[in-house]
């Protein structure tokens, strides 16, 4: 079963289901600071993306996961296996677009989507600021291929974006855990993708959360998503870095409480 292969985990005591999907370079342990609160209010499901986790190479397929739709298929497979009829989906970084892809294929089970630091396109384009030009990405891929360990050691603190040694250590641990060729292929899939068309197709209530400064995702990207997804909300939180669920969990939980708990009208 895909859920077992991807180290699926279920916790919590609520009636409503939340699915957590992490970003590149982390694994499901990235949700540790949010999970206790979520467990009180929801039945919480998490898993490791293919290629991530302690034996990610077993779950990764270079063809299937050559596009984000392969990861979306994994998500939908898990939902089928667990007979999930409705859920709130929370995706960090690339998993924001993985959720968007899954919801474009089968929107009905997605009661709400929450995207933390998500980007539909990392490359700059006419009238679109993604944050990177192609030479930037070419240099990143070359560095990964030349010396993955050295690249990861430098990449982790820059992405964390704040002087949080515990978060840097944890992000470094999960980056180093990835097989270098899989990490390189996954990064190419993510950074060269263009999911703007998919984002425009989202018809489910969507909440976008973005830090004020993120080296991977400019605030202009979050504003673009907010404009592209009809009826979406955007919360710009007073925090920095690309991993606020690890480095600023109180700010993330404040948004989730307002957006997800019964009784709010957002």
Residues labelled as active-site residues: 93, 214, 242
Measured distance CA(6)–CA(78) in Å, rounded: 9
Location of structure tokens 């089970």: 109
Q: And the tokens for 189?
A: 């899939």
Q: 166, exposed or middle or buried, with CB in 10 Å at 0-12, 13-18, 19+?
A: exposed
């Amino acid at each position: 079963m895909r859920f077992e292969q991807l180290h699926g985990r279920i916790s919590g005591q609520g009636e409503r289901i939340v699915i957590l999907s992490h970003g590149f370079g982390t694994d499901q342990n990235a949700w540790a600071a949010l999970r206790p609160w979520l467990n009180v209010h929801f039945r919480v499901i998490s898993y490791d993306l293919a290629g991530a986790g302690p034996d990610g190479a077993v779950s990764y397929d270079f063809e299937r996961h050559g596009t984000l739709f392969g990861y979306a298929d994994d998500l939908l497979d898990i939902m089928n296996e667990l007979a999930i009829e409705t859920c709130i989906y929370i995706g960090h970084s690339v998993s924001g677009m993985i959720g968007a892809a899954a919801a474009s294929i089968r929107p009905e089970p997605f009661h709400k989507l929450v995207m933390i630091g998500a980007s539909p396109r990392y490359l700059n384009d006419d009238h679109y600021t993604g944050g990177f030009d192609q030479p930037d990405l070419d240099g990143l891929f070359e560095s990964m291929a030349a010396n993955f360990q050295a690249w990861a050691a430098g990449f982790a603190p820059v992405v964390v974006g704040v002087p949080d040694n515990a978060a840097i250590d944890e992000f470094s641990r999960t980056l180093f855990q990835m097989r270098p060729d899989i990490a390189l292929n996954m990064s190419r899939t993510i950074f060269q993708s263009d999911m703007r068309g998919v984002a425009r197709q989202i018809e489910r209530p969507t909440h976008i959360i973005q830090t004020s400064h993120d080296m991977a995702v400019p605030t202009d990207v979050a504003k673009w998503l907010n404009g592209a997804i009809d009826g979406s909300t955007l919360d710009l939180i007073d925090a920095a870095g690309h991993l606020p669920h690890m480095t600023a969990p109180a700010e993330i939980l404040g948004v989730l409480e307002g957006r997800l708990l019964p009784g709010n009208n957002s």
